[in-house]
Structure 1
Amino acid sequence: MTITLIAAAAENNALGKDNQMIWHLPDDFKRFKQLTSGHYIIMGRKTFDSLPGMLPNRTHVIITRQQDYTAENCIIANSLEEALKACPQDEEVFIIGGGEIYKQSLPFADKIELTRVHGTSPEADAFFPEIDLNKWELTEKVYHPKDEKHKFDFTFETFVKNTGENE
């Protein structure tokens, strides 16, 4: 299993506020859809609740502490470990949030697909964990300037976990 964290975070790692994303970036949504379609997506209950509905062509795995929680056509898990066990072991699985789930899953992750939104968001209440560049290597970087559809400059960044020892 390849575990990939996928997120959009500001330069101060801000993800969102009041269970909502802080920005609207259509190209980020397109990339998210392209990367996650056909895969299992793991998320916390609050992240699931914030979605506009079921994301098409993806299997939703929801982590919640609520023992009696149900969601139609979704897999419910009470821990990250349980969520990972519910996914195919020979496929790429995406962790899509929120902040606490990212933090828990970072040690298990193989890859991070991050949309780095240039600027900071001081009012955020959810944050992406700090990426330790001794453990992660930036392998791809694609910059997008702001335009009529995007109020912010942003960069698609791909990180892979270092497998060897750093000298």
Structure 2
Amino acid sequence: MLTLIAATSTNNALGKDNQLVWHLPDDFKRFKSLTSGHYIIMGRKTFESFPKPLPNRTHVIITRQKNYEVPEGCVVVPSLEKAIEVCPKNDEVYIIGGGEIYKQSIDIADKVELTRVHTNVEADTFFPEIDPKKWNVVFEEHHEKDEKHAFDFTFITYLRAN
């Protein structure tokens, strides 16, 4: 199963200058619990936005750069197709960004795990539009802003409509 996982604002913003534009601890916890123990596919810039590889996950990094150096436990591939090829077939595989990789994969994904952050922000990277004719909401959980979260947000799980 191919799953896109992202946190986006109401205007589908993902980030700016290769950084997230909010800090939501509960979103990080959900991301960690869903992706731990799985393969995660990402573009090079997304990988470079981490201080170090995320623990307990196999990183598959898409880049056109030849001889791109990565730490042990990371796999480098030249395309989304190759990234999917190197992942286990009977396991949930997560695509974690960035914007270009989401665009390339939205039409082949089985599931979207979205954190909708209820604000509009300025950004340079966006998540593709989710077409309600192609996706069904199967889970939704709203969270009010609080002392740790500057914005209201909603966890939404979409499954591809048949």
In 2, the alpha carbon distance for the partners of 1:72 and 1:30 equals 24
User: Secondary structure of the residue that 2:130 maps to in structure 1?
Assistant: coil
Q: Could you tell me which residue of structure 1 aligns to residue 34 of structure 2? A: 35
Opposite residue 89 of structure 2, the aligned amino acid is: Q
CA RMSD between the two structures: 0.5
Q: What pairs with 1:1-167 in structure 2 (closer than 5 Å)? A: 2-73=1-72, 74-121=74-121, 123-163=122-162
User: Secondary structure of the residue that 2:106 maps to in structure 1?
Assistant: helix
1:52 shift after superposition: 2.0
1:107 shift after superposition: 1.0
User: Secondary structure of the residue that 2:107 maps to in structure 1?
Assistant: helix
In 2, the alpha carbon distance for the partners of 1:105 and 1:77 equals 15
Opposite residue 55 of structure 2, the aligned amino acid is: P
In 1, the alpha carbon distance for the partners of 2:69 and 2:78 equals 12
Deviates more, 1:50-59 or 1:12-21: 50-59
In 1, the alpha carbon distance for the partners of 2:66 and 2:135 equals 35
Opposite residue 111 of structure 2, the aligned amino acid is: K
Count of paired positions: 161
Q: TM-score, normalised by structure 2?
A: 0.98
- Listed as ranges, the gaps of 5+ residues in structure 2 are none
In 2, the alpha carbon distance for the partners of 1:57 and 1:68 equals 24
- Listed as ranges, the gaps of 5+ residues in structure 1 are none
Q: TM-score, normalised by structure 1?
A: 0.95
Runs of 4+ in 1 over 2 A off after TM superposition: none
In 2, the alpha carbon distance for the partners of 1:96 and 1:28 equals 13
In 2, the alpha carbon distance for the partners of 1:81 and 1:19 equals 23
In 2, the alpha carbon distance for the partners of 1:67 and 1:110 equals 31
1:119 shift after superposition: 1.0
User: Secondary structure of the residue that 1:20 maps to in structure 2?
Assistant: coil
Give % identity.
66
In 1, the alpha carbon distance for the partners of 2:110 and 2:103 equals 14
Opposite residue 61 of structure 2, the aligned amino acid is: I
In 1, the alpha carbon distance for the partners of 2:108 and 2:135 equals 12
